[in-house]
Chains A and B, each alone.
Chain A
């Protein structure tokens, strides 16, 4: 089976000469459908860079990135934009929804950008909102939603359409524990339905939700393993990470 995301010896260097910064060095990663991988490491270790390269927002200095078997190298900017519209969904920590657009319109945006007519895109967005349990917030603007609701809508937007790769950068970093768990459950459910997710975090409790953890330090993947058992005990009583 073709992995949804594959990074082969990816290196990213910013600047050159004496001021060169090696953000990533020879990182290999393969994520299959239905799998959630957490990328852990301290600030500045290269977690976000790995996600932006995986999502075609940046290009690696060396190495290959393949999304659903398609290499990103050599793609034009327009092709990369189309790839993001159709295959990749992003969720960021604190800045996800566009102000001025309602929850429905934010959800429908990737579809409309891809040429789906507004009415059909809105219908799909409303179905997605119902799945998220936010049908009653369809007409609300981002500044009328709570942080948790915003992140859930962002996850919904990242998956609307037929996208199977979800890249989340500290998706619950700005949320309280309960809202954070709700977001993680949503991500986990998405993976259950066949999506592949890569989650950048420095929080071991969140990493416990993942199938696999990639540890990154100074741009180098130092270890890949099952998530530590310890964090599970930190979860709220009666809650278990859905494997």
Chain B
């Protein structure tokens, strides 16, 4: 029997028909043996679901529009004291820029509240303000006798839907519950534009497109925003986090595909025997990976999208703005799907390469290849570690490129250290009882799968170890943070306003406030109170606070160029000798010609509303700067104030205690400040840092143990034949349990040692000038990692193993 060959394509590799045949076979085998790929598929599926759901959540973390500016690029706050002039300015803006949206503000004092309540006259919709108003219960108010309130305002004033409100003296029925969807903490009373009180200020929303303003007479503030790059940054962050997550999964998947390739060794040998090239053999295994990735990515995306509405509901109160459930970032999800498929294919590529390089006769016999020498990976590990530590040490924790290169090189070093470490462990276990010895030797005999598993566990543990140390460093370094634990910063500016917007206060009011600050200080041991003054240009008219509508002075600010055309602006305080010493400067060393003393490295620009031009590069003296970020770091000298014809204004006080502030002392200070209408700031709570540390540890442990469970499952299922032989020779359940426990414990021990060592060495290089950080890590964390993980893995392996092998040694028919 000979059948003549039909026409073939003239290519050595068989072209598309050959590739299609290989992919078809891979798909058929996946369908037949889907159970053996279930673990890897589930792991990938969960990773994709988490990435899709978490990525979509993170994508919505910033509000869709600026909570104050909406989608407008420019907002003018007009003073409503002279309504005809304001109307003329609005008309001028409309003529100049076309479509404008208007929101009127009228602050009204409410009994028992330190801050006035904003009566807001705002229409629904609007070109620029559609994201700033929604009525989610009841309806939009019409006429002069209706209003809507936010949930927060209703709670503060004790009113409800159907009730009445009359803060401005005119009773209005509450017909709706409104909100600012871009800022759920924004509290106000909504009135119809035609039916509200005369606005004290009017916000005009428009897009200036870089053109000059028309001549305006009532403008008190002009706000602007550039292009919003938050989503781009978040997309990059999500993809980076997804890559790390999928990388971990890919290592487990690589172990799974190594097992798969091992199971199909004879079939792949047969394929080569009938004429498949190495590339075609490789394609079969890689296609399996791609198909697994495609199935997992599809199912994971579906699961993630199904979970998204549930997650969004829980997310809104935390992030403080509404989320459009149907606003799905498809580009981000597409990238996650492609990444998952690529990772799965890449995970399969390495075993595919290994199996395609096997001699055909060896593959046909079904024997695994001899383990390769571990000298090369050991040398690569040493090289990677040297490069990584060098880069991290040179980065000084500031240079992002060196940090990234150093971290990647150190992570690669951990991966390469896996095979030699496994070999060492097997050698160390040579004298252990037979079950443990067999388990450890098995790990060394199959470095493809055990090496991948150790790599995944090492990374899964290395990341939380690094997070714990970094969080500890952030928590315990006394010289970092916003303020020391003995300081309280008291400001006159209102919450939500920039620090440079100083309310205009009479001398009597200032004396009264100073008295309240004195009350705060009196409750502290050995207190000192440092007045903080700013300076303003008396030629500039007062402005209105965008949050309270009260008249304010816009104090002098200094900007430093950020590189994107915008400026990072900070308020300038007047340089008293005490403040200079606090900022690390010697008052006597400041020359008379100096205008500015700053701890900033960049060139500064002085902004002044009444001057025709900003002053670039004012005479400046550089100083080390204060230890804490909220302390004044840019100071105007008395000479500078005089030369620029500025006027000093009291902006706040710095209270310093002789001892660490206690909770009750801070509570007292907050109560006094609330009564007086002051704003206070104390050292940030470290609860966030503690939460980060605990979460990283818990997350890392769960991830590492899950990875470990899957890796052990894969390895032991492959060793089922050995188990059957052992049982046949009289091994009891204890031996079988020891076998699995030793596999789990060995992998966990190697993962912990390599992960901790890699992360520890990397951090030691990064913190080489501050190694005391390591001494502050609570002892429970090293104990959890170094003792807890291997112990838990060993115990779980012992408890969950021991079944009769007949149920686990079943193989697919050849």
Contact = CB atoms under 8 A, between A and B. Distances in A.
A98 B1 contact: no
A111 B276 contact: no
Contacts of A125: 3
B18 interface: yes
Interface stretch (A152-160, A198-206, A216-224, A234-242): A152-160
B12 interface: yes
Interface of A: 52, 55, 57-58, 77-79, 81-86, 88-90, 92, 94-96, 98-101, 105, 108-118, 120-121, 123-125, 127-128, 131-132, 143, 155-164, 186, 189-190, 193-195
Interface in B4-50: 4-15, 17-18, 20-21, 24-25, 28-29, 31-32
Nearest to A58: B361
Nearest to A156: B1
A79 B277 CA distance: 9
Given A81-B277, A114-B275, A124-B3, A100 B21 contact: no
12 contacts: A52-B360, A57-B359, A58-B361, A90-B273, A92-B273, A95-B270, A105-B21, A113-B280, A116-B17, A132-B1, A158-B274, A195-B2
B588 interface: no
B4 A115 contact: no
A195 to B, nearest CB: 7
B277 A78 contact: yes
A162 B7 contact: no
A189 B1 CA distance: 7
A17 B143 CA distance: 105
Contact of B21 (A96, A118, A163, A195): A118
Given A100-B28, A114-B8, A160 B3 contact: yes
Contacts of A117: 6, 17
Interface string B734-758: 0000000000000000000000000
B272 A81 contact: yes
B5 A78 contact: no
Contacts of A94: 814
Contact of B3 (A55, A99, A131, A143): A131
Nearest to A51: B361
Nearest to B284: A98
A98 B3 contact: no
B1 A55 contact: no
Contacts of B32: 99-100
Contacts of B277: 77-78, 81-82
Interface in B249-305: 266-267, 270-278, 280
Contacts of B274: 84-85, 89-90, 109-110, 113, 157-158
A189 B814 CA distance: 28
Contacts of A78: 12-13, 277-278
A-B residue pairs, 5 tightest by C-beta: A85-B275, A100-B28, A115-B9, A120-B6, A112-B21
Contact of B8 (A98, A111, A159, A194): A111
Given A85-B274, A95-B270, A115 B2 contact: no
A189 B21 CA distance: 30
Interface in B342-360: 359-360
Nearest to B4: A162
Contacts, number: 156
Q: Output the residue of A100, A120, A189 with the most chain B CB within 10 A.
A: A100
B364 interface: yes
B203 to A, nearest CB: 68
B14 A113 contact: yes
Contacts of A155: 1
Contact of B2 (A95, A96, A105, A162): A162
Contact of A99 (B5, B21, B812): B812
A99 B31 CA distance: 11
Contacts of A128: 1, 3
Given A58-B361, A159-B3, A116 B8 contact: yes
Contact of A96 (B270, B280, B361): B270
B730 interface: no
A186 to B, nearest CB: 7
Contacts of B272: 57, 81
A120 B9 CA distance: 12
Contacts of B21: 105, 108-109, 112-113, 118
B2 A159 contact: yes
B155 interface: no
Contact of A113 (B2, B18, B31, B812): B18
Given A78-B277, A113-B21, A190 B1 contact: yes
B813 interface: yes
A118 B139 CA distance: 66
Given A84-B274, A115-B8, A99 B359 contact: no
Given A77-B278, A99-B814, A115-B11, A84 B6 contact: no
A98 B275 contact: no
Nearest to A87: B275
A96 to B, nearest CB: 7
A81 B279 CA distance: 11
A101 B20 CA distance: 13
B1 A99 contact: no
B84 to A, nearest CB: 84
Contacts of A116: 5-9, 17
A108 B780 CA distance: 64
A105 B20 CA distance: 12
Contact of B18 (A77, A112, A162): A112
A100 B29 contact: yes
Nearest to B281: A81
Contacts of A57: 272-273, 359-361, 364
B625 to A, nearest CB: 66
Q: Output the residue of A85, A132, A160, A163 with the most chain B CB within 10 A.
A: A85
Given A99-B29, A117-B17, 18 more contacts: A57-B359, A81-B272, A82-B277, A85-B14, A95-B266, A98-B25, A99-B32, A100-B31, A111-B8, A113-B21, A113-B275, A116-B7, A143-B813, A157-B274, A190-B2, A193-B1, A194-B2, A195-B2
A120 B7 contact: yes
A45 to B, nearest CB: 16
Contacts of B10: 115
B181 to A, nearest CB: 54
A67 to B, nearest CB: 13
A82 B1 contact: no
A124 B6 contact: yes
B276 A81 contact: yes
B801 to A, nearest CB: 30
A52 B361 contact: yes
B273 A82 contact: no
A148 B271 CA distance: 21
Contacts of A52: 360-361
Q: Output the residue of A105, A155, A157, A186 with the most chain B CB within 10 A.
A: A105
B189 to A, nearest CB: 71
A189 B32 CA distance: 36
Contact of B15 (A58, A115, A193): A115
A52 B269 CA distance: 12
Given A52-B361, A121-B17, A193-B2, A82 B29 contact: no
A194 to B, nearest CB: 7
A98 B273 CA distance: 12
Nearest to B266: A95
Given A84-B275, A115-B10, A98 B267 contact: yes
A98 B361 contact: no
Nearest to B15: A115
B2 A110 contact: no
Nearest to B32: A100
Nearest to A128: B3
B165 to A, nearest CB: 74
A58 B359 contact: yes
A84 B270 CA distance: 12
Contacts of B359: 57-58
Contacts of B4: 124, 161-162
A121 B275 contact: no
